[in-house]
Amino acid sequence: MTRQIVFLVYPGFQVLDAAGPLAAFEAANACVPGAYLLELIARDGGLVASSGGTRLAATAFSNRDGDDTLIVTGGDGVFAAAECAITVGFVSNSGAALRRIASVCSGAYLLATAGLLHGRRATTHWRRSQDFARRFPDVQVDADRIFTRDGKVWTSAGISAGIDLALALIADDLGEAVARQVARQLVVYYRRPGGQSQFSEMAELQPAGGRFAALLDHVRSHLRDRLDVDELAGLARMSPRNFSRCFAAEVGVTPARAVERLRVEAALAALESGARSVQEAAREFGFADPERMRRAFMRTLGVPPSSRRRAPG
């Protein structure tokens, strides 16, 4: 059985959002010949310029027949595409007609504009998650996930996560063994050792200049301190209750979760560099003991600290 997978592109799309999944499906065809028929489509067809200037050839998306799955790419041009009634109408109709529909990165904006994410769980690039949640309050945004599946609708996080999404779609179609073969061919993890969390989110819980940016900088440099809500609220010169509410609304996580993530981030870097043992990292970064650090790693990354430690030397 051959499944027809089509990728929707538009001026300003992110080329890796298309190229990454395309490479995965191509590798699946090498494992299972004839498994997929792959095609790029666009409103007008022809050469479509990506955000980086590279142009890819696409077929006009009118009069489609036989498609199985639509994958909507992301990119800076998604907002203009979401204002195009023809494009939004096509995506909406595809959601009703096709077996499966998916998005990579900010392609989720097109799915949401087309009404396909109403009441569903979804994810997008972590940098856009707060904006996405404000624009589409009817969508249950899961900002931590690399990809989500809610019924027939799949969404994925930023750029390279499109490969994770494609591997999951391949596993859904052809089984885990084929998906693992594809991952080996692409020299990528089939399931990332960091679990399904968008770990990059921890690098900047709030952009420079944000209300709590200075506080988060303080946390990063004082990870051995207690850093409970009362202490953080005092540093922010707010009552604990108001601080907790405002922090969660603006940063997207609770104060305790933010502190835990920053501790995990610092401990992970130390373990992967071989600079600290698990016991040393637990003490240095405020976990009190290795077991508490293990639980934090499992919540955040899905793996224990020992799996990320590089032997020194």
- CATH number for the domain that contains residue 165: 3.40.50.880
Q: Give phi and psi for 67, each to the nearest 5.
A: -70, 145
Can you give the residue range of the structural domain that contains 124?
Answer: 3-186
Domain boundary among 160, 186, 212: 186
pLDDT digits 0-9 by tens, 172-214 = 999 988 998 998 898 876 555 444 455 544 445 665 567 888 8
**CA separation, residue 63 to residues 47, 66, 255 (Å):** 19, 10, 51
Confidence of residue 265 (pLDDT cuts 50, 70, 90): confident
pLDDT at 216 over 70: yes
Per-residue pLDDT at 313: 45
Q: Do 182 and 272 lie in a common domain?
A: no
pLDDT digits 0-9 by tens, 3-52 = 999 999 999 999 999 999 999 999 999 999 999 999 999 999 999 999 99
Alpha carbon distance 89, 82 (integer Å): 10
Confidence of residue 69 (pLDDT cuts 50, 70, 90): very high
Q: Do 154 and 246 lie in a common domain?
A: no
Confidence of residue 306 (pLDDT cuts 50, 70, 90): confident
Mean pLDDT of the chain: 89
Long-range contacts of 122-125 (CB under 8 A, 24+ apart): 122/148, 122/150, 122/153, 122/155, 123/147, 123/148, 123/155, 123/156, 123/157, 123/198, 124/74, 124/155, 124/157, 124/158, 125/74, 125/157, 125/158, 125/159
Task: Give the number of domains in the chain.
Answer: 2
Per-residue pLDDT at 276: 81
Q: Do 162 and 205 lie in a common domain?
A: no
CB atoms < 10 A from the CB of 286, how many?
22
Asked if residue 164 belongs to a domain, the reply is yes
pLDDT at 102 over 80: yes
Asked if residue 313 belongs to a domain, the reply is no
Asked if residue 97 belongs to a domain, the reply is yes
Per-residue pLDDT at 176: 85
Asked if residue 80 belongs to a domain, the reply is yes
Domain boundary among 146, 165, 186: 186
pLDDT at 91 over 70: yes
Q: Do 161 and 242 lie in a common domain?
A: no
Asked if residue 223 belongs to a domain, the reply is yes
Catalytic annotation, residues? 105
Q: Do 63 and 124 lie in a common domain?
A: yes
